[in-house]
Amino acid sequence: AQTVTQSQPEMSVQEAETVTLSCTYDTSESDYYLFWYKQPPSRQMILVIRQEAYKQQNATENRFSVNFQKAAKSFSLKISDSQLGDAAMYFCAYRSTNQGGKLIFGQGTELSVKP
């Protein structure tokens, strides 16, 4: 069975600085998807970024980018120029190409942004 691990329960960053959130996963599959979701205090789950395992190029979305290391089974999220609105819980998630498309989530990392 696949597992997702986020080893940093809490992180803190100064406004305008860069922070990296870590995520590792375990799978025997070669084809899959990885996601980062953001959950602010409103509780809404917001998709931040998506990575297909067959793509070597790291995904980027504005200030958000990932470092996808397939061999190491690592999928970290980098937030550049951090803003107060980035403060939230961040979840890493794995999705197999079968098994009904379910997402397997990590435990989450709570990010605080200091002004």
Partner 1 sequence: DAGITQSPRHKVTETGTPVTLRCHQTENHRYMYWYRQDPGHGLRLIHYSYGVKDTDKGEVSDGYSVSRSKTEDFLLTLESATSSQTSVYFCAISEIWGAEQYFGPGTRLTVT
Given the rule CB under 8 A, which residues bind partner 1?
4, 33, 35, 37, 43-45, 47, 50, 91, 95, 97, 100-108
Q: What is the CA radius of gyration of the chain?
A: 14
- Which residue, 54 or 81, is less far from partner 1 as judged by CB? 54
Q: How far is the CB of 45 from partner 1 (least distance, A)?
A: 4
- Which residue, 15 or 31, is less far from partner 1 as judged by CB? 31
Q: How far is the CB of 50 from partner 1 (least distance, A)?
A: 5
Residue given tokens 């120029």 in the structure block:
81
Strand 103-105, strand 88-96: pairing:
antiparallel
